[in-house]
Structure 1
Amino acid sequence: MFTKMKNSSIGFLAIFFLILAAAGALLGSSFFPFFRWYLLLLVIGAGFFPLTRILFAAFRDGGWLFSRVIGLAAGGYAVWVLGLADILRFTGRRALVVTLIFIGVCWVLFMLKPVKKKMDINLIIAEEVLFFGLFVFWSYLIGFRPQASGTEKFMDYGFMAAMYRSTSLPAKDIWYGTDAINYYYGGQYFGVYLGKMCGVGVSYAYNIYRAMIAALGFALPFSIVRQMAFDRMEDRPHAGAWAAAGGLIGGAAVSLAGNGHYVIYGIFGKPLGLPMPDGRDYYWFADSTRYIGYNPVNTADRTIHEFPSYSFILGDVHAHMCNIIFVLTVVALLYAWICTGWENCTGRAGRENCTGRERGYLPDARFLSAAALIGMFQWTNFWDYVIYLTVAFFCIIFHALNSSCRSRKKRTVSAVYHTAVLAVLSTVTSLPFRLQFQSPVSGVAFCRTHTPLYQLLILWGFPFVVFLLLIVTAVGNYRKKMPGAISGGRNGREGTAEDAGENPGYFRTTPLPDHFALILGLCAFGLVLVPEIVYVRDIYESSGYPRSNTMFKMTYQAFILYGMMMAYAVICFLASRQRLRRIAGIAAAVFFGLTLGYFPVSVRQFMGNIFRYKNYQGLDATSFLESSYPADAGAIQWLNENVPGQPVVLEADGDSYSTACRVSAMTGLPTVLGWYVHEWLWRSDPEDLNQRSADIETIYTSDDAEEVRSLIEKYGISYIFVGSEEYAKYGTVNTEGIAELGEVVYSSNGTFIVKTAEG
């Protein structure tokens, strides 16, 4: 046995080094920043593994893949709080010192703490190889379209660039230079935190961080679903192989698959003669995210229903995408928590030997960790805060109902107590952010428009049917508090009524992973249903997008939760001894296989031919400047090389999702006003924005030197940038008057920069 394990480890390590060699050949000059980033992740993962192994004692891998996310969250959060309190300057060296201190504490406090369950070393090595291979794969794909330009990339890159420049937190808002960022910027912050520590500049960090999230977006669901499937089939032949297959389906379902829209319209659309948006005769990969309100057109109710695969390909390092790795960690912690409660309190002997912690009097470390991470979501992606409070609450109810250690009264007390702990701890964790954040939300309203049923079925019919099949399976196993057939463990092994104790759990006749999958499916169903009932009001309400943001953020998480539920259910059906379940599993696996076709189609449409290596451009997100802004690229580069900190640089303001504000976005230097609609959403003060826009035009066009100087002083403008966008927007720019406002520090091909007296 030992020889077999040793040979497996050697085989996995050989694969690792083959992937490493391929990365060196494929990534070119981008390999060195990529590999520095990977080594830092490896150090963080190994450093926090003693803690993670305790939190994930129920996992055969000890939570290895989650250790780097736990470390990222703990170290990054600590550095952020110390930065907000002006105790610590946000530099790479100081962040690294804080992180190493945390690692030292983890090893001193937790390394020698006994963990009953043995780890599977081969599994850990295999998971590391899987993650590394995916990290290389996504870095290679991204290199075919690395530009931080288009959609919301200017905003995301600009946030990261601003935090790279700033040694204090929060950084200034790049598009509202007199104030700090008023948005949940935590996701971008963690990319900067990693980049600063490993010495990778923002132009590479943007895309490497994006690749890391996509790789973990597969690897983390793999670990969760693999563990759930193994717990379900532990006593079955080839349990490890079935579990690994389930994990692979889970990873693919969350990070690579499309939705049902792709299957219906992308595969069968032409044969069935289905209409495409805008009169097109072909499917475009974004169609699956813009269906309700677009095909057929409904100008009063245009919505968004994105999913991770689309996000990873599109490349906006936005809040909903950055937070994927943290929400998956919360899901894993909640599963580990209810696993521990299930095992510790099984049977009369267990009830008699339970400690206070196991009886529910003290919160478990897994639960506390999940609650703290959920609180952090107010800073990383506020929508996920509400969503995962709900998921955690369902887990609390399940945990309370299923302990044979408690009477009905104690179950109620436990549920109330854990809910209070969740509310308090998540509130405390989010407090540093909420103290300096002004919410742009203006309330909740009932929906006046609703999605046609056939469109809901096209988008969500497949996972919903799998969910129903899983419910039917669970109901078949369920016998509420019936003696003689009480489950004695996670995989549903039967025991006796005496073993179950006087107060057996309510659902112990069904395997624990089935219940957890049902919780995920139920929450996902609710997230799809909520935007049909209510929506969060924002500035888009009056322009034909009333529930767009609500549906976007809720169904995004529904896709993730449904993906893991569906993967678990499919592998259980396929492994079942019952013929009907196997048939259902085969049918579901076939349909799921069709959804995976979305990924190669989308890659080809957005990134081109990835098999033509000469098209590979590397991971520099600013490589487009020379071609897109030939007159301004040199001036932007001059600012990056010569201007430290975050002084205000004036440039022309512009519309959201446009090419305007390229200076602030590509340098992280704040300007007076940037993308109008975004700032309207964040600040809810259009009158102020209109005044700023008028003042900017005055500075560029007015002949009144005194008025211009007063405006420069009003906004604290240190530099004035005059280039292609300014000439295009204002027509006649008073170049002579602007040049006289200070020192011309850069001039080339009509583009020039003036350093004012404020600078």
Structure 2
Amino acid sequence: MSEVVFILWWLLIIEAIGLIAFPLTAYFINLPDRGYSVSKLIGLLLITYMVWLTVSLEISGFGFAVIVFALIFLAFISIRRFDSKLLSLKGTALKSELVFVASFLIFTFIVMSKPDIYGPHSEDFTDFGFMQSILRSTYFPPPDPWLAGETLSYYYFGQMVAAILTKLSGIPSNITYNLAVAMFFALTAQAAYGIGYNLTQRSFPGIVSALFVSVSGIMSGFLQLVAYLVPEAREYIRYAPLQTPDIQQWLLKFDFWNSISIIPQTFNYYPYHTFAHGCLHAYMISIPFQVMLITLGLSLFRAEKVGRWHIMLLGLSIGFFSGLNTWEYPTYLLFAYLIFIFRHRKEALRLSVQTTALSVIMYLPYFLTKDSGGFGGIELVQQRTLLFNFIEIFALFLFLILSFLFILWWQHKEDPLMYIILASVPAPLIVLSGFDFQVLPLLAVMILISAYGIIRLERYEARFVLLLVLLGSLIALLTEVFYVVDAMPWKRFNTVMKFHLQIWVLWGIASSYAIYHILNNRNRSSRLKHIGVAAWSLVVIFMVFASLVHPIASTTSWTSGTSYFSTSTSGTLDGTAYLEKTNREDYMAIQWINKNITGSEVILEAPGKAYSYSSRISSLTGLPTVIGWVSHEKMWNTNWSKIDERVRDVEIIYSTADINRAISLLKKYNVRYVYVGDIEREKYPEAGLEKFSDQEFFEPVYSDTVQIYKVK
């Protein structure tokens, strides 16, 4: 079937889910667009939850039938909430759809320029392995493809969304993997557009919100461009200019990776970078669901009373993050608490307890089957972020938010409470000045003035935006005090990377509203103020364009194939097409496995090394192997000795000439198939591999350059 048909069919399914869910979404979300911008996400959330719960409780196996049943059940509930007044929103819905469809098609084209499910620093093998394992599962939790006999201890709900759509559409998973990346980008853009529109009832702030959350990037790209174009500025900029003959080559050879390492020993991701990288990873998939939850929060913040069904949806949505990207679960519990405290104070305790309880109870099968997932505790940060580095990451948002807060301060500077707030700032700064806490003064001002505005202002839109500023600032502050201990050799790596992505979403939405607020609340009678706003607007325009350098250059560099993985394919959605060129033997064997082996039989292959072409059979088929990427399994599990034991056992199975010893170890892990490809031949002695030819114990089921043996 033509890939154009796949694209249109996928798009039609997503649109159908959004339309089916819209009446129910409108019942929960009382905003100008009645939640149309997030109806697709709420539909996906509800269908995924129903399928997951049904399969986890073993009421039904995972397949087409249970997904269709969930879709029909959603339609039955939603149609009962249909209100003919919703038809009057067709103009609003059309604008929202234009954002979604345009974003989806544009990003599909980008993904087709670099479709490979593999690449440098890529989590593709992890994510596709999860998705393939889910597709092969009968019940949940799905098997861990890299730790045979165990279930996934890492969060997998995002890949489950993609797997459900794959089953529903009937499109091959090596195609839907890339379609899902484009879809999640488009869902983010549409949801961000919607919240900008709902805050202002204007389309332009919605477009700005979509731009800030989905596309804009860190300032390191602009600084590298300055270093390249202006030789005199190089002594003031830490980036060495690329040695390219012209700007076109600069764009093609832009440093896609090192340019996001601003804070030492971290990667400073922003949403577009995760989408452009094309990995169907948890921190990327969760971005549109974050914006969805913020939209739900805006509706609750606006409401005079919170009903029990609204709390049900809130608990369901927040709990979803526990299996989608656990790092966001505490953040959005805190988000809900802040809404209750600042808007529904009398019922705050009851609502907070109910929301927390529901977010756990509704996902009990997940919590009961999940271990600590490599969580090693929380420790104090020793080396904090330099102020200049923090500004380099969030420059655009900081400028807009501080402008907003300055106007707020100026308008209320005579309020006694404002004096108390400002007087409270110096004391902690003096106390903590000896701890090299450079971002503390900035964050302290943002936290205190935004909290003041939430208390004092009357307009709910401005108060809600200040709540987003407050939440983002609190997260930034906490990441400068604590970090989560895991198996990463760089202590703050995951803490900064995961939490800064959340800050980007929160501050991106707040910044788009700041532009609207400042431009629509200026004093038109003062010519001097008018000139000031005009100058401020020029600075904003400049900074917006500067923030787009990194995303644009990253896209041209990553998709060109000149800087990374030059054997890349292009012009297709097939994420495994590259393999036919780079390793045809593995490609043909994987094709055979996917056609001839059903279920989750264990297949043996050489242990894997992270971010390399290894553990490729388990990743690309979903069949579990004894041990995959060793470092990743150590990040996901606390029992490292068990992982090391598996590595030793696999080495023995392939290397030993003692067939009885090999058989004993194969039985230990219930291995059904043994894979011998070029990696195994290069790594293990021929004498050890010859034993698999003994047909008393092994049956050759696939024989080419690659051999696959079935254990009798």
1:182-204 alpha-carbon deviations (Å, 9 max, x no partner): 11001111110111111122111
Q: Which amino acid aligns with 1:466?
A: L
Show structure 2 runs of 5+ residues with no match. 245-249, 418-452, 524-529, 563-567
Matches for 1:689-728 after TM superposition, within 5 Å: 689-728=643-682
Q: Secondary structure at the match of 1:718?
A: strand
Could you tell me which amino acid in structure 2 is paired with residue 75 of structure 1?
Answer: I
Show the counterpart of 2:146. 175
Q: Deviations over 1:187-228 (max 9, x none)?
A: 111110111111122111100111000111211101101221
What is the number of equivalent residue pairs in this alignment?
Answer: 647
- The equivalent residue for 2:403 is 469
2:447 is aligned to none
Contact 2:483 2:492 in 1 (8 A): yes
1:93 aligns with 2:48: no
Displacement, 1:560?
Answer: 1.0
In the TM superposition, residue 720 of structure 1 has moved relative to its aligned partner by 0.3
CA shift, 1:374, in A, is 0.7
For 1:570, the equivalent position in structure 2 comes to 515
Q: Which amino acid aligns with 1:474?
A: L
CA distance in 2, matches of 1:744, 1:660: 23
Residues 131/672 of structure 1: CA separation in 2 closer, same or farther (3 Å cut): same
Which whole-Å CA distance do the structure 2 matches of 1:197 and 1:260 have between them?
41
Does residue 194 in structure 1 map to residue 165 in structure 2?
yes
Structure 1 position 388 matched with structure 2 position 332: yes
Distance 1:74 1:649 in 2: 34
Correspondence for 1:539 = 487
Residue by residue over 1:106-130, the C-alpha shift from the partner in whole angstroms, topping out at 9 and shown as x without a partner, is 112x125x87x88431111121122
The CA deviation string for residues 569-613 of structure 1, in whole angstroms up to 9 with x for no partner, is 113323443323454344223211221222221111000299xxx
Tell me what 1:36 maps to: 9
CA RMSD of superposed structures (Å): 2.4
Aligned to 2:313: 369
What does 1:112-511 correspond to in 2, within 5 Å? Answer: 112=83, 119-150=88-119, 151-230=122-201, 243-268=202-227, 271=230, 272-273=233-234, 274-276=237-239, 283-293=254-264, 302-341=265-304, 358=305, 363=307, 365-400=309-344, 411=345, 413-439=346-372, 440-477=374-411, 507=455, 509-511=457-459
Label 1:279 to 1:589 Cα distance change in 2 as closer, same or farther (>3 A). Answer: closer
Structure 1 unaligned blocks of 5 or more: 1-27, 231-242, 294-301, 342-357, 401-410, 483-504
The DSSP-based 3-state class of the residue aligned with 1:746 is: strand
Say if 1:375 and 1:426, in contact at 8 Å, map to a contact too: yes
Corresponding residue of 1:239: none
Question: Any idea what SS the aligned residue of 2:701 has?
Answer: strand
Counterpart-to-counterpart distance in 2, 1:582 and 1:75 = 48
| Secondary structure, aligned partner of 1:382 | coil
Q: CA deviation at 1:476?
A: 4.6
TM-score for the superposition, normalised by structure 2: 0.87
**Structure 1: which amino acid aligns with 2:469?**
G
Instruction: Give the aligned partner of residue 431 of structure 2.
Output: none
Distance 2:212 2:191 in 1: 12
Cα distance in structure 2, aligned partners of 1:582 and 1:167: 61
Shift of 1:286: 2.4
The alpha carbon displacement at 1:537 in A equals: 0.7
1:551 is the counterpart of 2:499: no
Amino acid at match of 1:193: I
CA distance in 2, matches of 1:255, 1:288: 19
Distance in 2 between the 1:730 and 1:194 partners? 40
Q: Does the residue aligned with 2:103 lie in a helix, a strand or coil? A: helix
> Is 1:111 aligned with 2:82?
yes
Structure 1 residue matching 2:673: 3-state secondary structure: strand
State the percentage of identical aligned residues: 27
The letter of the residue matching 2:580 is E
Equivalent position of 2:689 in the other structure? 735
C-alpha distance in 2, partners of 1:538/1:506? 36
Residues 569, 578 of structure 2: 8 Å contact kept: no
State the TM-score, normalizing by the size of structure 1: 0.81
Match of 2:297, as an amino acid? L
Change (3 A) 1:651 1:197: same
- Cα offsets for 1:145-196 (capped at 9, x unmatched): 1011021100001111111112221211110011111110011111101111
Q: Assess, with a 3 A threshold, how the Cα gap between structure 1 residues 269 and 568 changes in structure 2: closer, same or farther.
A: farther
Per chain length, whose mean CA-contact separation is higher, i.e. which structure has more relative contact order (CA < 8 Å, sep 6+)?
2
The answer (yes or no) to whether the contact 1:480–1:507 under 8 Å persists in 2 is no
Shift of 1:509: 4.3
CA deviation map 1:303-340 (0-9, x unaligned): 12201110111011100111112111100001011122
Secondary structure, counterpart of 1:518 in structure 2: helix
Shift of residue 375, structure 1, vs aligned partner: 1.1
Contact 2:99–2:189 (8 Å) recurs in 1: no
Query: How far, CA to CA, are the matches of 2:404 and 2:36 in structure 1?
Result: 29
Q: Distance in 2 between matches of 1:733 and 1:567?
A: 66
In structure 1, what residue type is equivalent to 2:285?
C
Larger mean CA deviation between 276-285 and 201-210 belongs to: 276-285
Query: In structure 2, what is the Cα distance between the partners aligned to 1:607 and 1:130?
Result: 23
The 2-side partners of 1:635 and 1:366 are apart by: 50
Q: Is the 8 A contact 1:374 1:389 kept in 2?
A: yes
Which secondary structure does the structure 2 equivalent of 1:228 belong to? Answer: helix
- Provide the C-alpha distance between the structure 2 equivalents of 1:581 and 1:511, rounded to a whole number of angstroms: 22
Give the letter for the 1:726 counterpart.
E
The alpha-carbon distance between structure 1 residues 733 and 136, as it changes in their structure 2 partners (threshold 3 A), is farther
1:677 maps to what in 2? 631
3-state DSSP class of the match of 1:688?
helix
For residues 119 and 454 of structure 1, the distance between their equivalents in structure 2, rounded to whole angstroms, comes to 49
| Separation in structure 1 between the aligned mates of residue 224 and residue 507 of structure 2, nearest angstrom | 21
Q: Measure the CA separation in 2 of the matches of 1:268 and 1:366.
A: 52
Q: Distance in 1 between matches of 2:588 and 2:611?
A: 23
Task: Report the equivalent of 1:407.
Answer: none
